[in-house]
Structure formats: structure tokens, C-alpha cells
Structure 1
Amino acid sequence: MTRTRFAPDSGLTGRMVITLFLLGLLYVAFVALLIYLGVQAIAVLVLAGAMLLIQYFMSDKIALFAMGGRVVSPQEAPELHGVVDRLCALADLPKPKVAIADSDVPNAFATGHSQKKSVVCVTTGLLRRLDRLELEGVLAHEMSHVAHRDVAVMTMASFLGIVAGLMTRVALYSGLGRSRGNRNGPPVGLIILVVSALVYVVSFLLTRALSRYRELAADRGAALLTQRPSALASALTKISGDMARIPTRDLREAEPFNAFFFVPALSGGASLASLLSTHPPLERRLEQLAAISAQLGRGV
């Protein structure tokens, strides 16, 4: 793994290892149960594996296409490239591709399976609303994701959910695993449906918990790299406030990409919504930045 000057985060590393271990354990138990029940799940596993590989190696192209983003040259966006160049020099990180998406929803995302195969994209709405220091804070956050290979880890973590989701659908629509010639036998299809749904829920909650922590870790990495937690806090506050003035229709169109975004397009304040969210609450993020600011001897 290429070393960068982003502050190491033992908490993030530990959570990644624990989450992937638990998901792997759950995966082994799930597959063992399918084999015990006599289910021919090879086709499902192959399909899930193919989907994982496509997502892993083409996440940058898929995300840019879905968001309508395009890679821009230094001549087209000199200020944006200037900020990225400065951050790459500070972090000792290979320069990612730089893209802009024509959307009034103020946001940014980074994707790509490695530090050398990554892209950072900002929306036109973000560029219109933030000053240079705030933009630098947001881009440092996104490049922290790149430095810690968050996209690759989250892609791998999603594999079990893909398998369980496919198994649930197959069990629902094809009566998977019914015992041949044994009408009095256990309802194997129902067992698979229930277990698959349970596995999907558990894997979903684990990956969402990891996603929330990686956002906090990216905030921390950006604040320490730039030494300006107040600029990142200002960007968070400004973007979150402006989200309320964006038409709901536009926010719902962007909502499927919340896991990639700097700030979720739509979020709920209820405890259940927080449990299912890809991002921690705004208050939690600002509290962390205030604590970092105090450590650095600066005021937010």
C-alpha cells in the first residue's frame, strides 16, 4: 500500500478488519447452510462475484456516468486542479482524475479501486457555493477516502449483501431448494428466504456502520492534513443548509449515490434513520471537527 501523509487511523483500520471478518464469518455460515440444505447456489455466487468485479474495477466509470460527470483538464478548471495539486503534494498522493458534474446539488465524491485509479468529482452547485478554503477541505475529505482505499473496502464488504439479496429473490420467485419427492419435508425454500433476508439485514447494518465511521475518519484526515478544521466545518454547515433549498425531486435523484457523497442528499433525523444512514449526523461531524480544532489550538 502506498504511504501518504494522511494521518494514520487505527480506529478505521480496526473497524475495517472487524467488519470484514464478521462479514466473512457470516458468509461462510450462510454458504454452509445452503450446502446443508442441498441448494445449488453456484450460479448465484458466480453472478454475485461478477457483479462485485464489475463494481470494483469500474466504480469510477459507473459513478461518473450515473452522475453525468466528465473529466476536465487543467485548462478547463484551473482553480479546481490547483486545489487538487496542492492536496496531492501535501499528502504525497498520486493525482486522481478531476471531474465536474453539472448538478445544482452541492456535493462531491471520490471513487476508484486504488490510489492510482481514482477520480474526484465535484458538482457545479458545490463550486458555486464554496470559497477556496472550504473547497480544499471537501476535496481533502474525498482524497482521504482514496488514501485509505475506502471504495475498495466498501465494495468488498457489500459482496455478502449482494449474495443474500440474490438468494432472497431467487427463493421468492422460484421456490429454490424445495425437496424433490418429499412433500412432507421441511419448507426449504421458506428457510432459505428467511435466512437470506436475515443475512442481508445484518450485512447491511454492518456495512452502514462502517460507512458512517469512514466518513468521520475522512473528516479527521482532511482536518489534520489541511490544518483547517474550521474550513471543513464551514463547508459542512453551508452544504447541509443549502440542501434544504434544493427541490426534493433533485435530491431524490441524487439519493442513490449517498454512499459516495460528502454529504447525503437526503437524510433523516430519527434514530432509526441514523442507524440506516451512510453518514453520521451533521452534529457529530461538527463536534469532531471542533475537538480537532481545539487540539490544534484554533477556534472553529
Structure 2
Amino acid sequence: MGNIRTFVLMTALTALFMGLGALLGGMTGAVIALVVAAGMNLFTYWNSDKAVLRMTGARAVDERSAPDLVGMVNQLADAASMPRPKVYIMETDQPNAFATGRNPANAAVAATTGLLGSLSREEIAAVMAHELAHIKNRDTLTMTVTATFAGAIAVLANFGMFFGSSGRDRPGGMIGTLALMILAPMAAGIVQMAISRSREYEADRIGAEICGRPDWLASALRKIEGLARGRMNVQAEKDPALAHMFIINPLNGRGADNLFSTHPSTDNRIAALMKMQPGREGGTLARSSVPRTGRGIRQDPWG
């Protein structure tokens, strides 16, 4: 269902782009704007993982510096029949996590120190499974494509505002043209956010299947949501554009499942996960002997 919803939303974004191009009097300007926006986003796509990791200050860890976390991620990746991603840790008290990379063969997952210290091993495993689901679903590619169209729409809108004709020969005249130039980028942004929310639901579903326990992920989301509101994520606050990458919105004060939110309501996500409860058997982590300590992975191996 998540993939179908994403397809519908991307079709709407494409239609919006083509409609705006037609309003400007032909496809030449639309094609030029699309090429420019695509080039910018293609560069971002190939370098997004390095840029994101640098912006968040995440540091790489391995089997020697963080054996528990890396071993868990490797086990989950093997269970999902996907390449093992690089593992990073982000220094912040706020519990959160994100994934980045242009494809499954060139990907990375990152967990915050707050996540590792606040959640149980089962909950951490579920969060890491969610991030692996983003990689497996190639959500980075999906979001890059939507960013390309959203960027192209913004370019076309600016072009029309500053270099367009009077608009008298267009439907709606000057007022209609100006209204569309203003509203089109807003609509593109809303669709982009909707696609991001759709991918979160899908990653929840696939992540729950990878770890085999939807209740672990539901518990993790509930705990992260509660703790994140009271703990500042300085890096995310400095770069709000990164917010959609995290499993829970890292910016304080949000939570509603509305048009302008990059994340679905946590309550809605938990409700969807709990509907999966009857099929919770399976999953490598669920079948293995996971210690139910109620505490997170020890942080002293990586200082």
C-alpha cells in the first residue's frame, strides 16, 4: 500500500510540474528547468551520504569500537538479505536514528548516543531494522527524485514570476498566473512531505518484518517520541532540512500527522504496527536469544 501511495503522489507531482510548464507557454522552458534541477539533485544524490554524515557529526564505528551495535546491524542486514551498511554513531542525548546512502551497496545507518543509552536491546534492534528498511526500499532514491521535481517546480515558478509575460493570454489572466506561481511550489512541498510520510509507514512495516517483532518497534517509537520532545538535537536544529531523515522528527514541538509534517503521527504508526502483531513470529532477532535487560547497549566500548 505504501508503494502505491508513493506512486500516486509522484504522479501528482509530475502532473503539477507538467501543468506549470504548459502554463509558461511550452515545454522548452520546462525541460531546461528540469535538466538544471536534475543536475543539482543528481550531484546531491551521489554525495548525500557524506554530506549528511558530516552535517550531523556522526562518526564511523566498527566491530572493535562498537561490537554490540555493529554485530546487531550486521545480523539484521543478513536476515534481510541485503549488503551490510556502514555504522555510525551521532553524539546527542536525543534518542533517534537515520539512514543514508544512494543504494543498498553504498549505505550507512546511524544511531544517536541517546538512543543507545535509553532503549532496550530489542527496541534498538527494531529501530535499526526500520533504518535498514529505508535502505532496502531505496527511499533515498525516491526522495531524490521528488526533490528533483520539487526543485524544478520552484525554478519554473521563479522563472514565471520574474520573466513571464503579462499572463493576459493564459487561463485566469495575470492573477491566476501569479496565484499558480506562488501555490505550485507550496503544493510540491506538501506532496514531497506526503511521500516522506508514506515511506515512514512502509519502513515501519518492512522493519517489523526484518526483526520479526512489530511490538519492539512500537515500543521504541513510543519511547523515542516521549524522550525526544525533552531533549534537543542541536545538529538537526541547525539544519532542519535533515528532519525527514530521522525515525522520529528531531525538531521539538511537532507530532501531528498533517500536511506540513515530514513524519506521520507516532500514535498512527504504533496503531499500524500493532495490527501486525499476529504475524510477529519470525525474524532473526526475534528467534535469537536477546537479553531482556530493559537497558540499552553499553556505550563504554566506544567511549
Q: TM-score range by the shorter chain?
A: 0.7 to 0.9
Given candidates 196, 218, 223, the residue that maps to 2:203 is: 218
Q: Which amino acid aligns with 1:239?
A: I
Q: Deviations over 1:147-190 (max 9, x none)?
A: 11111011101222112223344555xx21246xxx99889887
Please state if 1:133 is matched with 2:117: no
Task: Give the aligned partner of residue 268 of structure 1.
Answer: 254
Comparing 116-125 with 245-254, greater Cα deviation is found at 245-254
Q: Structure 1 residues 288 and 185 mapped into 2: Cα distance closer, same or farther (>3 Å)?
A: closer
Identity percentage of aligned residues: 33
Aligned partner of 1:142 in structure 2 is 131
Matched, 1:25 2:15: yes
Q: Could you list the runs of 5+ residues in structure 1 that have no partner in the other structure?
A: 1-10
Q: Which of 74, 85, 96 is the aligned partner of 2:85?
A: 96
Q: Are 1:207 and 2:192 matched, yes or no?
A: yes
Counterpart of 2:300? Answer: none
1:158 aligns with 2:143: no
How far does residue 257 in structure 1 lie from its aligned partner after superposition?
A: 1.6
* Alpha-carbon distance between aligned partners in 1 of 2:233 and 2:281, rounded to the nearest angstrom: 40
- CA shift digits 1:15-71 (9 cap, x unpaired): 2322222222222222222234x9856664443122211222112112111111122
- After TM superposition, the structure 1 stretch with the greater mean CA deviation from structure 2, 287-296 or 184-193, is 184-193
Aligned to 1:278: 262
Which residue of structure 1 lines up, in the alignment, with residue 100 of structure 2?
111
Q: Indicate yes or no: 2:67 matched with 1:78.
A: yes
Distance 1:297 1:78, change over 3 A: closer
Q: CA RMSD in A?
A: 2.8
Greater shift in the superposed pair: 144-153 or 62-71: 62-71
Partner of 1:48: 37
Please tell me whether the aligned partners of residues 69 and 121 of structure 1 are also in contact (alpha carbons under 8 angstroms).
yes
> 3-state SS of the aligned residue for 2:275?
helix
The answer (yes or no) to whether the contact 1:177–1:189 under 8 Å persists in 2 is no
How far the C-alpha of 1:12 sits from its partner, in A, is: 2.2
How many matched pairs?
280
The CA distance in 2 between the partners of 1:169 and 1:13, in whole Å, is: 31
TM-score, length-scaled by structure 2: 0.82
Letter in 1 for 2:87: V
- Match for residue 252 of structure 1? 237
Per the alignment, residue 6 of structure 1 pairs with none
Give per-residue Cα distances to partners, 1:258-290, cap 9 Å, x unaligned. Answer: 2100000135355xx622111111110111121
TM-score normalised according to structure 1 size:
0.82
Counterpart in 2 of 1:57? 46
CA gap of 1:161–1:125, structure 2 versus 1, over 3 A, is: same
Does the 8 Å contact 1:259/1:278 carry over to 2?
Answer: yes
Aligned partner of 2:156 in structure 1 is 167
- Closer, same or farther in 2 for the Cα pair 1:258/1:223, shift >3 Å? same
1:42 and 1:22, CA in 2 relative to 1: closer, same or farther beyond 3 A? Answer: closer
Contiguous gaps of at least 5 residues in structure 2: 283-303
- Comparing 57-66 with 286-295, greater Cα deviation is found at 286-295
Give the SS at the match of 2:107. strand
